[in-house]
Amino acid sequence: MTDADAAAAGTVELADGLTVNRMGFGAMRLCAPGIVGAPDDEDHAWTVARRALDHGVDFVDTADSYGPGVSERLLREAEVPDDAVVATKAGLLRNTETEWLAHGDPDYLQNQALVSRDRLGVDSIDLLQLHRPDPDTPFADSVHALAELVDEGVVDHVGLSNVTAEQLDRARDIVDIVAVQNRYNVGYRDEQPVLDACEDAGIAFLPWYPIATGDLDTVAEPLDTVAAAHDATRYQVALAWLLHTSPVTLPIPGTSDLDHLADNVAAAGIELTDDERRRLDEAA
């Protein structure tokens, strides 16, 4: 029987006729450590991806640079695109296990979208996000390339990642933007202006690094206090806080561990009190 754990968080509308549960899954960590290469056990990676769907997750985030190409391929082999909205990204290159190089050249973005479509095994990509603005390419040129992919039927919807509120406004003059993915968590609020802009416009906000890869020491005391009251972990409370922060947030925690996956999705069922929310709001 399919669980509906993720549905406890409610839903967010990405576009007309496209509504998803507000607890997603980030598929970056299906790859090998360092996010370069394939995992030792691909069967396990497929199981994790499918189990996320069993928990009610119907939004999965990936990127061409994860692997590179490995995460997209694993999702196709696990048949995830058949049962969930899959968002991928283009605009970053990998040349080591530590370097992520922005590359927003329009020809590259358009070529990469075709490659990603093939890897995912879909007729069109549900959501393609510009992974990061490229300082060597005019931002508008990169966004126009994504808009052309929509016109050509390669991509259904366009999103952005790692952008400012001003860049979001500029992009919206070119193409409909349905999602923005920026770093944001209970201990890091620098992107609040972008979240505010998304909320005002009704655009889904995907906070990456939602539990800071387990490092939330700067806000540990209030997190642990609230966690004890809910028989939860500090990381579950951090995810619950993101869901309570705005109706447009769509966390995408990633993991390659089945137990962690279950814990992440279960966080959707944590109801914070007004006092708990206030304590966490004031923590950073």
Length of the chain: 284
Nearest to 42 by CA among 87, 73, 14: 73
Catalytic residue check, 66:
yes
Torsion-angle region of residue 69: left (phi > 0), alpha (psi -120 to 50) or beta? left
Backbone φ and ψ for 177, nearest 5 degrees, come out as -105, 125
Q: Which two tokens stand for residue 150?
A: 């929509």
CA separation for the pair 152, 141 (Å, rounded): 17
Residue 164, judged by CB atoms within 10 A of its CB (0-12, 13-18, 19+), counts as middle
Please write down the HEC assignment for all residues of 52-80: HHHCCCCEEECCCCCECCHHHHHHHHCCH
Which of the residues are catalytic?
66
